[in-house]
Amino acid sequence: MDAQSTPESIIMAALSTLTSSQLSSLSYSLSTAFHRHNNHLTSLLTSPTLFTHTLNHLYSLSLPQKSLLIARHLLSFLRFLTPFFISSPPTLNSNRVRLCDLDSVLLLLFFCEVRQHHPTLLETSPAEWQGILKNYCFNTMLNLSACVVTPFQVLGVFVDLVLKCRRFVTSKGCGIDPGRKEVAASAEAVVALPSVQVSKGCGGVECVICKDEMREGRDVCQLPCQHLFHWMCVLPWLSKRNTCPCCRFLLPTDDVYGEIERLWSAIVKVGLQVSQECC
């Protein structure tokens, strides 16, 4: 990846392909999510009981578990782009987030922000953290409220959040890696696959999994990439992998990191196409 193909430039290039109405719709959805999360964080910082419970929960989590929290948060924001860059729908349980997980990830990200901008601010007793974080949060929100938040500013905050979460996940060794373990396609994605009949003129084409002929008039499975396979061949395949055996097209998966890879790959594909056209 060269200097012109950084993650930031790629996602900005992909966003540039959206129409004005699509950008407005995306900005509105993101503004609503940011507002909801800010209110949630405020409630967390003003409740001693909730703050202590959430802090103790974060202490109990291992580094991989914290990375998974961030990854789920990243995935929830990447899914805002799904309708614009991926034709296949997300899994049905994609928006189910436990409140305790939302508390934990918002507090964890807030700790990271404070640490980045004021490294010594929390070098005090943990008993003082709630008051310090509450004052920092209110001062920050007050400064932001004095500015007119335009759709482009909202998108800028979104891009910063996506890249920050992605760096956190990849830096912990849990990121998007071509050599990652294979993951199964989601049950919802598999159930939604259509059964089509091999048409006249297409008979004789072989199923690349078993190498046997797909006979004319026989019902076979069609993946979103249009490739056809025997049902008895493709179902065991998709129970272990979420890729097309022919072209490596990615199907939805219940694996968090697999879904991040799927959505990020779609964004990268669009972003790189725009970058190449501009060269």
Please tell me the pTM assigned to this model.
Answer: 0.82
pLDDT at 241: 93
For residue range 52-71, what is the model confidence (pLDDT) as tens digits? 999 999 999 998 899 889 99
Per-chain mean pLDDT for the chain = 84
Instruction: Name residues whose C-beta falls within 8 Å of residue 257's C-beta, 6 or more positions apart in sequence.
Output: 71, 169, 174, 175, 176, 180, 183
DSSP state of 206: B
More confident residue, 178 or 20: 20
Helix extents (H) in 47-93 = 48-60, 63-78, 82-85
User: What does the alpha-carbon distance between residue 25 and residue 154 come to, in Å, rounded to a whole number?
Assistant: 12
Mean pLDDT (whole number) for 219-242: 93
Strand order in the sheet with 228-229: 195-197, 219-222, 228-229
Which structural domains are found in the chain, ordered by start? 3-177+255-278 (no CATH), 187-238 (3.30.40.10)
pLDDT of residue 97 exceeding 70: no
| Main-chain phi, psi angles of 219, to 5 degrees | -80, 130
